């Protein structure tokens, strides 16, 4: 539990309605002569961690790696892709730990914690799994074996697991994925039961999704799932609000706070798990300032919540962001620009954390 003594002051600040200029000594919270790393500030603000996702495609860039594994900046690491089904079990019963370990081993050496992502998702599944003509019994067996082997391999590594990822449509209905078509909505329950059976008792188990940073049909449906799980003693410890925002329409502080609260009041923790704020190109100083608001509002909402435990940015360097490849015409979604310069968004996050410390 954490309550910021500056909550009332921060709530009155115009983060969601104006465009202040952020930079060294220019933040809305007063001058400062140096900036500790974001993870250092996050701990002071009451969060358990401030982390980043890391993808394998950039591990040959020594400057990137030095920042990614700087524990004062990011004290938690999430493998962006290396633990997904397609890479972990590319053939049935054949497991490959290479991509995951390329991220996790340096993180452990740097004494960073590891947030693991993910066991079950309908995307980035190997063809043998997605297009197999499975009976219900066969698919349940495949699921359990995959979770068992991966969970045991990373048993002492993962303080938290995204057990199931993105199972709901925006209207609150279940996605008709290959998991759902064969197993029905029970597949989510089964995944959490298997995860609890094979992970460390200390590992927190999360449901993770995007577009739930406001109270809407999707977030309400997930809240009902959580409520049902708790009522029936199905193991679930947290809900991850991904936080993939568009600069111009990023949710306001009050909206994110309300969504976090709807899960926290059910008795589960929350986290911002994949934060980035994409800009419609070409970029401009005004767009950067608006982007900074989006970042600041999300971090502030987590800091001020009773049981939002941490924030993970979905990588920190613009050239390796997933955004341009997924959303043509959009980009520059991260905290650092092409030349590793800290953007206004970085200083906005730093200011929020500093004010809450």
For residue 348, what are its two tokens? 């906005």
Q: How far apart (Å, rounded) are the C-alpha atoms in residues 280 and 265? A: 36
First-last CA distance in the chain: 15
Q: How far apart (Å, rounded) are the C-alpha atoms in residues 311 and 352? A: 13
Q: How far apart (Å, rounded) are the C-alpha atoms in residues 202 and 219? A: 26
Q: CA–CA distance from 216 to each of 28, 63, 130, 133, 226 (Å)? A: 31, 41, 30, 35, 15
Burial class (CB in 10 A: 0-12, 13-18, 19+), 59: middle
Residues with catalytic roles: 166, 274
> CA triplet 319, 323, 329: central angle to 5 degrees?
95
């Amino acid at each position: 539990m954490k309550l910021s003594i500056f909550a009332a002051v921060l709530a009155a600040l115009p983060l969601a309605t104006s465009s202040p200029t952020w930079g060294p000594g220019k933040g809305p919270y007063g001058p400062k002569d140096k900036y500790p790393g974001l993870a250092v500030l996050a701990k002071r603000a009451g969060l358990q961690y401030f982390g980043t996702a890391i993808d394998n495609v950039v591990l040959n860039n020594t400057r990137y790696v030095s920042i990614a594994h700087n524990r004062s900046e990011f004290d938690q690491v999430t493998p962006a892709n290396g633990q997904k089904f397609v890479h972990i079990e590319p053939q049935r019963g054949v497991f490959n730990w290479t991509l995951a370990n390329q991220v996790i081993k340096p993180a452990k050496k740097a004494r960073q914690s590891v947030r693991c992502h993910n066991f079950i998702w309908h995307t980035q599944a190997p063809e043998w799994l997605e297009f197999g003509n499975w009976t219900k019994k066969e698919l349940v067996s495949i699921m359990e074996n995959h979770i068992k082997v991966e969970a045991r391999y990373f048993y002492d590594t993962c303080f938290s697991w995204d057990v199931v990822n993105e199972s709901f449509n925006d209207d609150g209905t279940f996605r008709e994925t290959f998991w759902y078509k064969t197993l029905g909505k029970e597949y989510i329950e089964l995944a959490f039961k298997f995860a609890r059976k094979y992970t460390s008792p200390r590992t927190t188990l999360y449901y993770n999704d995007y577009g739930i940073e406001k109270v809407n049909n999707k977030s309400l449906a997930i809240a009902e799932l959580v409520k049902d799980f708790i009522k029936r003693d199905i193991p679930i410890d947290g809900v991850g609000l991904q936080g993939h925002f568009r600069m111009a329409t990023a949710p306001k502080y009050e909206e994110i706070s309300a969504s976090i609260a709807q899960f926290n009041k059910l008795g589960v923790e929350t986290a911002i798990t994949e934060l980035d704020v994409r800009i419609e190109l070409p970029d401009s100083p005004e767009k950067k300032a608006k982007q900074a608001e989006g970042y600041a509002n999300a971090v502030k909402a987590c800091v001020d919540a009773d049981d939002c435990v941490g924030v993970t940015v979905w990588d920190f360097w613009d050239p390796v962001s997933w955004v341009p490849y997924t959303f043509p015409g959009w980009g520059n979604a991260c905290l650092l620009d092409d030349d590793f310069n800290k953007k206004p968004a970085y200083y906005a996050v730093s200011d929020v954390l500093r004010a809450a410390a």
